[in-house]
Every structure is written in structure tokens, then in C-alpha cells.
Amino acid sequence: MTTTLLFGELRGGRITDTLDVTGCTWSQVGNDAGSISQVVVPGHEVAKKLKGVMFTARSFLAVDVDGRLQEAGPVWSLAWNDEAQTLTIGAAGLWSLFDHRKVLPALAAGQTVATGGDLGDTTFGGTDLGGIGQALVIQAWNWVGGDLPIVFPGYNAGDRTETWYGWQLANVGDQLRQLTKRADNAPDIRFRPDYTADKLSVQWFYEAGSEDAPLLTQTGDDWYFDQTVEKSPVLNISTDEDGTQMGMRAWVTGNGSEADILMSTAHDPALIDAGWPLLEVDEADSTITDPGTLDDHSANLLQRSARPPVAWKVVVQASAAREVLAGHYARVIPKTDHAWLPAGETFLRVASKSGDLTHKVTLTMYPIEDVF
């Protein structure tokens, strides 16, 4: 297995060079920006390749494992240590750039505004939620300096309509996350990095689930990670259950204040009937002005909370998971005499994938089947 670090100019996606590094951790996650952190570059490599070339926000960093890009996106931090003679680079997936963009129609050159109401509103419709997310990104792309090497699909048919008011100064990155929570069948969204056909540049594919198939997952068979077979690629399996994230009643608040604030709640008694005490969870999004949208949010929050949240951390040989992406389905079979995990096959979905410069990666997964 070979891990390679690449860097280049973000807006064009052109690869400048590779980097020899002494440290690196990376992760890809579902419905958010992954990370590339603790990238330690020795001083001689800095002087040779990066001086006057590497810039925060302007440059990108990418991680390649055996020819497959695992994560790529803008560089956000550069820390030079004069005593150690090293440069430490921090980057994140492309989604992170949209955490620095607003949901606004492009202003004309030299245009100024007097009040928030003069900024202009944004309304997209005639497609599904994934298509509305695409429209948000394209609107941000259309600003001067907003162009990025993103490949967009065609719009899916749908009857969703969403509106953002200019005075809200809503954040594009946050609103993309909100779209993935907008209903109980809300779509997955991701920016998947890949090489251009000539291998000279990096590009990102905007991908979103549809109303009929909201989850982004593999098209073929589930991945199998079997700890019982000889020379298994599964090195170890850990679990982590956090009951503080559970809720059988969900509350979501929207726009407004005090007694006039919009509010919605959803309830599922299944866990209570099975013996759990009532637990409640809440979220807030002041950009939501429509009661129906708020109801969709509370239904989604309940769907995410009304079960014991057990995370499986499956450490495998990196070569066995090179093609695995966050969102894929997997079947995991622990060793037969495992002291804690259930015997036989468990059906899970990959929430995140992380690695470093070693020959192993960690797949964090959540069970699909009920655990009670």
C-alpha cells in the first residue's frame, strides 16, 4: 500500500507536485467535510517545493491511497516550527469551503446594499432536495472568484421548493447539511474527489441522493469484513455506545423568538415500549421559516435519535478498503469467541473512514438492524 500527498491550486485543480511527509491523518465522513490534518513536512521539502507556492485557502491538499483519492480540499492552516524545522499543514474536504460562502444571488461589480432586505432572496424549486443543494452550490460558484473544478450532474425531477432570505446571511455549508436533515428520507450529499482523465488535475463530483434512493452507497454487493477467516484483513473491532445522544421525542425550533418561535416535535414510543425511559433531544435552525419544513426536521431528528447509537470501529488493512467510501454498506463478522460482539454477521453502514501513513484504516460504522 502506498499513501501519497498531493498539492496544487484549488480553483483550477491543477496538481503542482507530491510531498514527502513524516506524519499525516485523514478522514472522509458522510454529509460533511472530511479532514487532512497533522501533515508534517520536513524543512528541506518545504524549501524545495512549498516556499512561495503553498497558501491557505488558495492551495489544496489531497490524499491518494494506491491510486484512489480518499479526501481532498482547501488548505486552512500552515504552522512553521523553527526549532523543529517543520511545516504542519491542515486541510479539509471541499465542503469546508462552502462554510465560508453565503446563500445570496451574485452581486454586480461595485454593488452595495443599504439594508439586509436589499441583498435579494434565493428560491429554488422544481427538483428534489439534492437538486436544491446543487443549485445552492452553483449560485455560489457564479460569484466572481467562486468558480471551482466541480462536476455537476443533471437535476432530478421533484416538487421541492426552498427559500432563503438575504437578510439571514445563511451559510451555504450549513444549509447543505440541513438539506440532509430536511425529511425522514433526506438525501446524502458529498463532494467526491477524483483525478481528471489526464491525471494532471483534481476535480470534485457533486453527488446527492434522490427521493427514490436518498442514500449514497455502492451499486454492487455489500463489503464483507470477516474476522473468522484465515489471514483476515480485519485487525480489530471496537464498539462505542453513547446513550446521551438518544431521544424518543425530538424537538426542533426555527425562526422567531421567545413565545413566537416556530417549534415542532416528533415522537416514537418503540424504545419506551421496550423498557427505556423517555429521553428528549432538540436542535435549532433560525433560518427555517416554514412549519412544514420544521416538521420534516423533527421527523429526521427522531429517526437519527430513537435507537441506541452504537458505533463499530473496524480496523482493517488499507488495501482491503481502498474503494470503500463513507455511506457504503458492509457486513462484519467478528471472531467466533468474541467476548462482547454478537456472533455471526452484522449489517452496518460506513459513517466515516480514516487513516494515516500506516497500512491500516479505521471504518466507523453504525448497525442498520434494530438492536432491541
* pLDDT band with cut points at 50, 70 and 90 for residue 184: confident
Secondary element (H or E) of residue 179: helix 172-179
Percent above pLDDT 70 for the chain: 99
pLDDT higher than 80, residue 369: no
Secondary element (H or E) of residue 338: none
pLDDT higher than 80, residue 103: yes
Cα distance between residue 117 and residue 131, in whole Å: 26
Rounded mean pLDDT of 47-73?
A: 97
Rounded mean pLDDT of 166-170?
A: 92
Using CA atoms in the order 291, 292, 293, 296, what is the torsion angle rounded to 10 degrees?
Answer: 120
Residues linked to residue 169 through DSSP beta bridges, in sequence order: none
Q: What is the pLDDT of residue 118?
A: 81
Over residues 326-345, the pLDDT tens digits come to: 999 999 999 998 899 988 99
Rounded mean pLDDT of 142-168?
A: 94
C-alpha cell at 283: 436542535
C-alpha cell at 358: 500506516
Q: What is the pLDDT of residue 88?
A: 98
pLDDT higher than 70, residue 371: no
Rounded mean pLDDT of 280-302?
A: 91
Secondary element (H or E) of residue 316: strand 310-317
Buried b (16+ CB within 10 A) or exposed e, 118-136: ebeebebeebbbbbbbbbb
Over residues 199-258, the pLDDT tens digits come to: 999 999 999 999 999 999 999 999 999 999 999 999 999 999 999 989 999 999 999 988
Determine contact, residues 243/251, Cβ cutoff 8 Å. Answer: no
Determine contact, residues 316/225, Cβ cutoff 8 Å. Answer: yes
pLDDT higher than 70, residue 55: yes
* pLDDT band with cut points at 50, 70 and 90 for residue 370: low
End-to-end CA distance of the chain: 40
Determine contact, residues 179/133, Cβ cutoff 8 Å. Answer: yes
